Amino acid sequence: MHVMIFGAGYSGKAIANALKTEAATISGTTRSTDKFASLAATGMTPFLFDGAHLNDDLIATMANVTHLVQSIAPGKDGDPLLALLGDDLKRLLPKLEWIAYLSTVGVYGDHDGAWVDEETPCRPVSARSVERVAAETAWAAAAEKAGVPLAILRLSGIYGPGRNSFMNFEKETARRLVKKDQVFNRIRVEDIGTAHAFLARRNERGVFNVTDDEPAPPQDVVSFAATLMGVEPPPEQAFETADLTPMARSFYGENKRVSNARIRGLGFDFSFPEYKISLTQLWESGLWRG
């Protein structure tokens, strides 16, 4: 197995870590040579990719790739990698056996707190989620034409070591925003890695929600983190009057509960299925700082 991770950031590193014992080679791309050392520390061979050009070293490596992971967000002009690969994936990836596309549960849009699953029609609200739906569709068409299985992993809010409520308390940015009946799902980054490895081993195809079991109000998560730390939680703030960036405010425009029953039905177990279990482990292990 030669894995190539395009956009080997926070989630990409977790995927590399989950595959390090079974993949012969793991390659990962980054926009800066400054990040080469961090990719190498995770067991990846780093390559530069600026999102606009495939350099000679990258093209040479792609000739041996069997498992492709696309983690780079699309833009208004579509998926940057597909734009370079063209309509024939096997032209530069002749040994390709399996593809994973990392998407977001944002593609479902707003459902007023109701449960959604992979059969729920996509009705994205934000521009970035509209772009994600278009990218999913484009990858599905390219994979079908190439005869390669494609797994689309729709991820909820990602957190883990170095990205969590404890870090917000340390940086004095923790807030308890309250919007009536608002809930969010979350996903621990290590579970993204193990879910990917699980699907890759089975050459699974289709759409999978990779998310925890417990959609919860965001203020409850902050309060629980404060309890673990032994500090007072910040005062509650009404969402309607809070000072938020347009992007932060847009997240609250989508309210839904996301089911992970499909991937669980295949036999996958989440290591961190609930935020209380996860935050407790992060705090007690000291891993929260990353």
- What pLDDT does 280 receive? 98
- What pLDDT does 251 receive? 87
Distance CA 151, CA 266 (A): 14
Give the pLDDT confidence of 217-246 residue by residue, as tens digits.
999 999 999 999 999 999 999 999 888 898
End-to-end CA distance of the chain: 28
Could you tell me the sign of the dihedral formed by the alpha carbons of 262, 266, 269, 270, in that order?
negative
| Superfamily of domain 2-157+187-210, CATH level 4 | NAD(P)-binding Rossmann-like Domain (3.40.50.720)
pLDDT exceeds cutoff 90 at 87: no
- What pLDDT does 33 receive? 95
**Per-residue tokens: 75:** 């833009």
Give the pLDDT confidence of 138-159 residue by residue, as tens digits.
999 999 999 999 999 999 999 9
Could you tell me the sign of the dihedral formed by the alpha carbons of 286, 11, 213, 115, in that order?
positive
**Residue ranges of domains in the chain:** 2-157+187-210, 161-185+214-257+273-289
Distance CA 210, CA 185 (A): 10
Classify residue 61 by burial, with Cβ atoms within 10 Å: 0-12, 13-18, 19+: middle
Give the pLDDT confidence of 158-189 residue by residue, as tens digits.
999 999 999 999 999 999 999 999 999 999 99
- What pLDDT does 247 receive? 85
pLDDT exceeds cutoff 90 at 248: no
Looking at domain 161-185+214-257+273-289, its CATH architecture is Alpha-Beta Complex (3.90)
On the CB side of 166, how many CA atoms lie within 13 Å of its CA?
23
pLDDT over 70 percentage in the chain: 100
Q: For strand 2-6 and strand 45-48, is the pairing parallel, antiparallel, or unpaired?
A: unpaired
Q: Are 30 and 49 in contact (CB under 8 A)?
A: yes
Q: pTM score, two decimals?
A: 0.96
